[in-house]
Structure 1
Amino acid sequence: MDNERKFALLIDADNISPKYLMVMLAEAKRYGNVTIRRIYGDWTDNSKKTWKDNLLDYSIVPIQQYSYTTGKNSSDSAMIIDAMDILYSNVIDGFILVSSDSDFTRLAMRLREAGKTVIGMGEAKTPSAFVKACEEFKTLDVLFKNTLSTEEQKEVLETTEDETSNDISDVAPITEIGEIKKCILSILDEHSDENGRMLLSELGRLLTKEYPDFDERNYGKYKKFSQFVQKLSGCEIDMVYFEGENKPPLAYVKTK
């Protein structure tokens, strides 16, 4: 659709495993039309072979950046320069920055200062500074573990041939579920109406504002935020329907 929001997907290949490619693309499409897809790395490096094998199939443009210094991520500067060029071209509504590197913290802040939506993606080890600089942050290793079935995970791992990919048993969300529960109850206490309830959508917005890394799927096989909230002790969902009107029902949440 013409009014669909347009995003630029920029991937730091030096900091992200190719095993997350399918999860990454699926998440990116949730936000709108990903019109720009670029990935940055030293493509003369044999360790990038799995990335190279998949780029053409998913219309991701590789940007060559030679590693002039051992141990230094050479993709940072190229990705930052490209992001600013795209920003000033004013052809997209937001950016999806894929990296577990805190070096992109200032970039995320600058893009938001310019009024662009910034979605971050990376592993649970990503420094909190970069996570909080984004409006939302998707934890790829946690989503990989919780969203994909065991068979799908095995299929992806076999395709990527990543020696580090099998160690996912200890993967955990950035923010513990206890912190999320406490925040939800605090928001309800502060923002609920005289009946002790508030819109579920508004609760989700305020929760993500406090914890950009929040995603109900990080904590189990939840498909909807309402399912997650209903599982929390002391919370329930009320649905308000409009008789005779062509309006979708409104979902409210309140403590029991």
Structure 2
Amino acid sequence: MKETKWGGLRSSSGDIAGRSTLTSSGIAPQADLVSISLATQCRCEPVTYKVRITEKQMDKKFAVFIDGDNISPQYLDSIFAEISQDGEILVKRIYGDWTTTNMGSWKVKVFESPVRIFQQFRFGPNATDNSIIMDAIELCNQSNDINAICIVSTDADYYSLALRLREIGKFVLGIGKENSKPIWQNACNQFVFLENLNRVSLPQQNAHSLATLESSLPEVGKLLDFAMDNSRSDNNGWVSFSDLGKSIRSRYPGFDPRSYNHKSLLQLVEAFSEDIEIRTDESQPPNYWARGIKKIESEEADSTGIVKRFMGVFGFIENEKGNYFFTLSNILPQSRDKKLRKGTKVRFSVFKEPNPIGEDNAEKNGKASNVEIIEE
């Protein structure tokens, strides 16, 4: 991408004063065009330039709309953790008919999470969908702060809403199951499958015992584990302290290292040096990054099993923990030219552990990578 010169004023003589440089790269197809008009003070003609603002440059402010009739409450914490990695959540709403028995599990969950609930009686098959569609458009028209919308549903009826929101310059994130229709997935800027979300195990706060401060604090080790698992990281697993702090406060706004007798987050993390390693740079003041030692070791550990089925481009591995799904690209190059059939012994890395209580096979199956045939 070429450099775009902007920020200048063109005088009557044709000179441009006060230039600055903006370098852009990797322009996204959905980038918004923003016109920057420069006023003039003395006999200067205004010059207008068009600058593309990419998704990476945009600081996302999300409004989240959850179709409670269509999504299980077991995903709620994982959904919010996923969205928080990409921006700040300003609005959280769950819609459904709260008078029905199938919303009973949601009633328990909303007491644990700060989210607004909206009642919609089932006057028709798409009553909840229509309510979300109208409220999403209304909110976008009323609030200048919201620039990203997340619709959580597997229902393809929202595809038209996604297209309309993108027409007015909003970033649209869809979250739903893998069996979501392609038209719904492709209508969004980005679509995340529920089956790919981490199972978030939140550290519990004792909300009923407030006799002392300590009794209401989440256990610090689990708190750091939660933050490490739900923060943006680079390819080597390093998480910046800035993102680490944001992840903690997105779930616990009252978090303060001093509550644990530490002056800073750095001191708190340093107390867990056996579990978390820290690196820094030479900046002043320095930047810090953290990486979980145990997590790296567990990811490098291999598991073994036998091929249960292989259909040419994908298959399943079975061991004592359950079934693991894998694709042709997950097989190591040195094993791809070998015959892979039912009963073949393999070694593999666990990308996702099986979940025996999942609602369907996609949730119940784990996922494998780095599959290698074991020679006998």
Q: Tell me, yes or no, if structure 1 residue 61 matches structure 2 residue 116.
A: yes
Q: What letter matches 1:91 in structure 2? A: D
The structure showing larger relative contact order (alpha-carbon pairs under 8 Å, at least 6 residues apart) is 1
Aligned equivalent of 1:28: 83
Do the aligned partners of 1:14 and 1:73 also contact (CA within 8 Å) in 2?
no
Equivalent of 1:148, from 199, 224, 243?
199
Find the residue that maps to 1:35 and give its secondary structure.
strand
RMSD: 3.2
Equivalent of 1:9, from 54, 60, 64?
64
Q: Deviations over 1:39-81 (max 9, x none)?
A: 1100101210111112243211111100124xx2420010000
Q: Give the drift of 1:170.
A: 8.3
Tell me how far apart the structure 2 counterparts of residues 129 and 88 of structure 1 sit (CA, whole Å): 25
Task: Flag the 1:62–1:102 CA change in 2: closer, same or farther, 3 A.
Answer: same
Aligned equivalent of 1:199: none
1:1-256 matches, cutoff 5 A: 4-69=59-124, 72-89=125-142, 90-140=144-194, 142-144=195-197, 147-148=198-199, 177=327, 220-221=351-352
Task: Flag the 1:171–1:131 CA change in 2: closer, same or farther, 3 A.
Answer: farther
Tell me how far apart the structure 2 counterparts of residues 29 and 177 of structure 1 sit (CA, whole Å): 29
Task: Flag the 1:121–1:180 CA change in 2: closer, same or farther, 3 A.
Answer: farther
Tell me how far apart the structure 2 counterparts of residues 5 and 171 of structure 1 sit (CA, whole Å): 35
Q: Percent identity?
A: 33
Q: Deviations over 1:1-28 (max 9, x none)?
A: xx95310000001111111112111111
Unaligned runs of 5+ in 1: 153-168, 182-218, 222-229, 233-256
Q: What letter matches 2:185 in structure 1? A: V
Task: Flag the 1:179–1:106 CA change in 2: closer, same or farther, 3 A.
Answer: farther
Tell me how far apart the structure 2 counterparts of residues 170 and 127 of structure 1 sit (CA, whole Å): 25
Q: Give the drift of 1:231.
A: 6.1
Find the residue that maps to 1:39 and give its secondary structure.
strand
Find the residue that maps to 1:119 and give its secondary structure.
strand
Do the aligned partners of 1:101 and 1:126 also contact (CA within 8 Å) in 2?
yes
Task: Flag the 1:110–1:28 CA change in 2: closer, same or farther, 3 A.
Answer: same
Task: Flag the 1:88–1:177 CA change in 2: closer, same or farther, 3 A.
Answer: farther
Unaligned runs of 5+ in 2: 1-57, 202-321, 332-349, 353-368, 372-376
- For normalisation by structure 2, the TM-score amounts to 0.39
Aligned equivalent of 1:215: none
Task: Flag the 1:231–1:11 CA change in 2: closer, same or farther, 3 A.
Answer: same
Q: What letter matches 2:112 in structure 1? A: D
Q: Deviations over 1:161-195 (max 9, x none)?
A: xxxxxxxx8897xxx956999xxxxxxxxxxxxxx
Task: Flag the 1:19–1:171 CA change in 2: closer, same or farther, 3 A.
Answer: farther
Q: Deviations over 1:121-166 (max 9, x none)?
A: 01111111100111111110x225xx339xx5xxxxxxxxxxxxxx
Do the aligned partners of 2:62 and 2:146 also contact (CA within 8 Å) in 1?
yes
Task: Flag the 1:231–1:180 CA change in 2: closer, same or farther, 3 A.
Answer: closer
After superposing on structure 2, the runs of 4+ consecutive aligned residues of structure 1 that deviate more than 2 Å are: 169-172, 176-181
Q: What letter matches 1:119 in structure 2? A: L
Find the residue that maps to 2:70 and give its secondary structure.
coil
Tell me how far apart the structure 2 counterparts of residues 113 and 53 of structure 1 sit (CA, whole Å): 37
Task: Flag the 1:115–1:4 CA change in 2: closer, same or farther, 3 A.
Answer: closer
Q: Give the drift of 1:99.
A: 0.3
Find the residue that maps to 1:63 and give its secondary structure.
strand
Tell me how far apart the structure 2 counterparts of residues 180 and 133 of structure 1 sit (CA, whole Å): 29
Find the residue that maps to 1:138 and give its secondary structure.
strand
Do the aligned partners of 2:60 and 2:88 also contact (CA within 8 Å) in 1?
yes
Aligned equivalent of 1:209: none
Task: Flag the 1:30–1:59 CA change in 2: closer, same or farther, 3 A.
Answer: same
Q: Which has the larger share of helix? A: 1
Q: Which has the larger share of strand? A: 2
